[in-house]
Structure 1
Amino acid sequence: MRKSVRCGDVIIGGNAPVSIQSMTNIDTRDIPRVVGQIRQLEEAGCQIIRLAVPDMESADAFGQIKKQVKAPLVADIHFDYRLAVAAIEKGADKVRINPGNIGSRERIQAVVTAAKARNIPIRVGVNSGSLEKDILQKYGGVTAEGLAESALRNAELLEQMDFEDIVLSLKASDVALNYQAHRLIAEKTNYPIHIGITESGTVNSGKLKSAIGIGGLLLAGIGDTMRVSLTGDPVKEVYFARDILKAMGIRPGGINLVSCPTCGRTRLELERIALEVEDAIIPLARKREALGLPPITVAVMGCVVNGPGEAREADFGVAGGDGKGVIFARGQIIKTVPEEAIVSQLLELIDQDMEGHR
């Protein structure tokens, strides 16, 4: 079992479920807009939120923002140790640093001392674009071995200062390299691991790389907290992170939607129905998470060949006919309804199921 640390009210590692993170993309000094974006992220299901702290004015703003939101906040620091110390004193629940670019041992010690005084963890963040020169020379460039060595080196530096509330992060934009580096680090340490694909791209291209990269790590049992890094609205990162965990079946309360690809036997507008169900189950999934309910599967099937069997195997489902659908609930036929009532009837069943657990 991996070591666990606490970030605000969120446990990272140990037996805790994989938590979802994101990062604001608004100038931290713009307090009202940042607070608004954090609240949007909270509403979307983000559990830990990181803010850039590039100057002392941003550190001061961090403290004011912290007073107005509920989610744990992480201060993202590069180069200037004084910003890390200031952010910690302003109430940061965690700081993200790369000890290699903070400077002297004395400066790193100042950050560690502040973190210990507030009993908060430090995330050691190593990226493929920020490896130490000696490691690049040793391995002839960016390699999985180099990423792992850098992360372990920096963690050891903190250990020498009697600090072990560490979260390790080593990210690359190359999916295969990223996977190999994480496999190496997972074998050599029991610190909790923050996973993701850095600089993965736009919402379209980045989703594909993130699904493969993060999904592969989760299947290998690696990852205690995660961020999907996309160019654009960070709220979309959270929604897609939830989708990944839901597809893996490891998100409590998730709703897994399965639907057939359609064929010439389909006699109803299955694509429209599936999309409507997909949109509508998002708030229902959040309710299930809040109640701590296990994941469920909803099947939207289009014909009488495989449809009844697949729908019967799901918790809730519909098998389509000619302009109508047979509604199933946990293996039992509930009713036959016209096509236009399929979505509402499925949603009603899911909602009734939750009501029974309140």
Structure 2
Amino acid sequence: MTKRLMVGDVAVGGGAPVSIQSMCNTKTDDVRATVEQIHALEAAGCEIIRIAIPDQAAAEAVDRIKEQISIPLIADIHFNYKYALACAERGIDAIRINPGNIGGEEKVKAVADICRQKSIPIRIGVNGGSLEKDLRAKYGGVTAEALVESAMGHVALLNKFDFDDICISVKCSDVPLTMAAYRLLSERTDYPLHLGVTEAGTPSMGLVKSAMGIGGLLCLGIGDTIRVTLTADPIEEIFAAKKILKAAGLRKEGVNLIACPTCGRTRIDLIPMAEEVERGLMNCTKNITVAVMGCAVNGPGEAAAADIGIAGGKGEGLIFRKGEILYKVPQEQLVDKLMEEIEKLP
């Protein structure tokens, strides 16, 4: 089991539930826009949020953001260690750095010292794209061993300055390589691990890559907190993360929607109907299984375990519960009636 650290009031590692993270894409010094996006992300299910700190103005916005939000706030720091110091003074909950790109050891020590004094954890974020040149040369490119050696070198540097409140990530856009790096890292350390497949892409491909990489590792018992990186509205990252955690069997709350793929037996416009049901249940927290099926074959029989469901016919459909048919309604009423029955469920 990994060590446990606290990011604000959220436990990471040590057997704590795997937490969901995202990152704002607003300009951090636009406090109003940043706070609004954080509230929207939190409403969607985000539990830890990260902001970019590219300049002093962004660092100086941290306390104004913090006083208007309730979820933990992480500062993403590159190159200038003074921004990390400024964020720490303004109440940041955690800092993400690559110790290799913020200058000499005295600068790393300054960050470690203030974070130790204020009980601020540090995530060492190693990315394939920013791997040190000497490690690229040693291993002939970006490899799992190179990523892990980079991460553990940074750990040793922080440990040198008596800092041990550490989380680690070793991400790249290559899924098998990312998985190999995390598996190797999990064998060599008990620090909590932040999982992700970086630059995963648009929602269609990005979700597939992330489900393979993040979900595969979670199924192996590896990982303590996750971020799905998508070229999309950050809220899409939260929805994707929830799906991955459900597929990995780590979260049971909320709706499990099952739907048949349609075939030549289908006599109802099922695909848009299933999409409408999915949208309608996006914020439903009931721990239920809902079935949207295309015909009698895949209806009350095959989906008998569903708490509630619909099965289509020619221009009409059945509402059923636990395999028992409740009543028949015209196609245009199916979704509304299904939602009414869901409302009745505990």
TM-score normalised according to structure 1 size: 0.91
Q: Is the 8 A contact 1:246 1:254 kept in 2?
A: no
- Deviation readout 1:49-97 (Å, 9 max, x if unpaired): 1111122221101221111111211000112111111101111110001
Q: CA deviation at 1:132?
A: 1.8
Residues 138-177 of structure 1: matches in 2 within 5 Å? Answer: 138-177=138-177
Corresponding residue of 2:298: 306
- 3-state DSSP class of the match of 1:282? coil
- Residue type at the aligned position of 2:179: Y
Q: Is the 8 A contact 1:195 1:225 kept in 2?
A: yes
User: Could you tell me which residue of structure 2 aligns to residue 111 of structure 1?
Assistant: 111
| Counterpart Cα distance in 2 of 1:249 and 1:347 | 26
- Tell me, yes or no, if the aligned pair for 1:284 and 1:351 is still in contact at 8 Å: no
- Tell me what 1:278 maps to: 278
- State the aligned residue count: 346
Stretches of structure 2 that go unaligned for 5 or more consecutive residues are none
Give the structure 2 partner of residue 29 of structure 1. 29
Following superposition, the deviation at residue 114 of structure 1 comes to: 1.1
- For residue 23 of structure 1, report the CA deviation from its aligned partner: 0.8
Hey, what does 2:92 align to over in structure 1? Answer: 92
Q: 1:161 to 1:331 in 2, by over 3 A?
A: farther
Other-structure match for 1:319: 311
Q: Residues 300 and 324 of structure 2 are in contact (CA less than 8 Å); yes or no, is this contact kept in structure 1?
A: no
Query: Aligned pair in 2 of structure 1 residues 46, 116: CA closer, same or farther (>3 Å)?
Result: same
Q: Which residue of 2 aligns with 1:241?
A: 241
Q: 1:328 is matched with which residue?
A: 320
Q: Give the whole-Å Cα distance in 1 for the aligned partners of 2:274 and 2:102.
A: 50
Distance 2:309 2:11 in 1: 35
Which residue of the partner structure matches residue 292 of structure 1? none
1:181 aligns with 2:197: no
AA in 2 matched with 1:73:
L
Matched, 1:352 2:344: yes
- TM-aligned CA distance change 1:329 to 1:161, over 3 Å: farther
Answer whether contact 1:246 1:255 (CA < 8 A) is retained.
no
The aligned residue for residue 297 of structure 1 is 289
- The structural deviation recorded for 1:312 is 0.8
Partner SS for 1:299:
strand
- Is 79-88 or 303-312 further displaced after alignment? 303-312
Asked if 2 retains the 8 angstrom alpha-carbon contact of 1:24 and 1:50, the reply is: yes
Amino acid at match of 2:29: R
User: Is residue 299–residue 310 contact of structure 1 (8 Å, CA) maintained in 2?
Assistant: no
Change (3 A) 1:30 1:135: same
Q: 1:166 to 1:351 in 2, by over 3 A?
A: farther
- Aligned CA-pair RMSD: 1.8
**2:130, 2:83 → 1: CA distance?**
19
Choose between structure 1 and 2: higher helix proportion. 1
- SS of 1:190's equivalent? coil
SS in 2 for 1:337: strand
Deviation at 1:105, TM superposition (A): 2.0
2:61 match: secondary structure? helix
SS at match of 2:283: helix
What percent identity do the matched residue pairs reach?
Answer: 55
Alpha-carbon distance, 1:331 to partner: 4.2
> For structure 1, which segment, 42-51 or 325-334, has the greater mean C-alpha deviation from structure 2 after superposition?
325-334
> Whole-Å Cα distance in 2 between the matches of residues 351 and 166 of structure 1?
44
For residue 163 of structure 1, report the CA deviation from its aligned partner.
2.1
Whole-Å separation in 1 of the counterparts to 2:288 and 2:13: 25
Distance 1:252 1:117, change over 3 A: farther
Read off the aligned partner of 2:144 and give its amino acid letter.
A
- Residues 311, 319 of structure 1: 8 Å contact kept: no
Q: 1:246, 1:208 → 2: CA distance?
A: 14
Corresponding residue of 2:72: 72
Q: Check the 8 A contact 1:126/1:171 in 2, yes or no.
A: yes
Give the conservation status (yes or no) of the 8 Å contact 1:51–1:74.
yes
Q: What is the rounded CA distance, in whole Å, between the counterparts of 1:104 and 1:91 in structure 2?
A: 25
Which one is further off, 98-107 or 322-331? 322-331
Task: Give the match for residue 62 of structure 1.
Answer: 62
CA distance in 2, matches of 1:56, 1:323: 62
What residue is the counterpart of 2:127 in the other structure?
127
1:191-230 correspondence to structure 2 within 5 Å: 191-230=191-230
Deviation per CA, 1:141-183, whole angstroms, max 9, x where unpaired? Answer: 1101111111122122222333222111110011111111111
Match of 1:343 among 335, 340, 343: 335
Secondary structure at the counterpart of residue 312 of structure 1: coil
**1:83-130, CA deviations, whole angstroms, 9 ceiling, x for partnerless residues?**
111101111110001111122222112111111222121101000011
